[in-house]
Amino acid sequence: MELLKVFGLFVFTAVVEIIGCYLPYLWLHKGHSAWLLVPAGVCLAGFAWLLTLHPEAAGRVYAAYGGIYIGVALAWLWMVDSVRPTTADIVGVVVCLLGAAIIMLGPRHA
């Protein structure tokens, strides 16, 4: 159950980070309002805070989070940008998720 909680927190953290980066993209590249920078800043601050909620050492959390982030980013690509991931994208995500699992589930030395 703890593993599911950590995975869910990683996924939520990734979504918050992506929104925090996507909103400025909408302003800079799509001509949307500069006011989008306000919720973007809130999201990016929330992203940083969410990463502190993990019980592991910060470096290990950041490393494992990177694998989850890649998977969520490709899901975003598909669901928001309407671009279907390629086979290479999917294989890459699987490799990254395996790496994240090894980092988070591997033995620890005191």
List, for residues 56-95, the tens digit of each pLDDT value.
778 888 888 999 999 999 999 999 999 999 999 999 999 9
The identity of residue 29, as a single letter, is: H
pLDDT at 108: 79
pLDDT at 59: 83
This prediction has a pTM of: 0.88
Integer Cα distance of 44 and 48 in angstroms: 6
pLDDT at 110: 65
What's the angle, vertex CA 72, arms to CA 66 and CA 77, rounded to 5?
Answer: 125
Residue 108 half-sphere exposure, CB side, CA atoms within 13 Å? 7
Contacts with 46 (C-beta within 8 Å, 6 or more apart), sequence order: 16, 20
Domain ranges of the chain: 2-105
Integer Cα distance of 40 and 18 in angstroms: 9
Cβ neighbours, 10 Å, residue 29 = 8
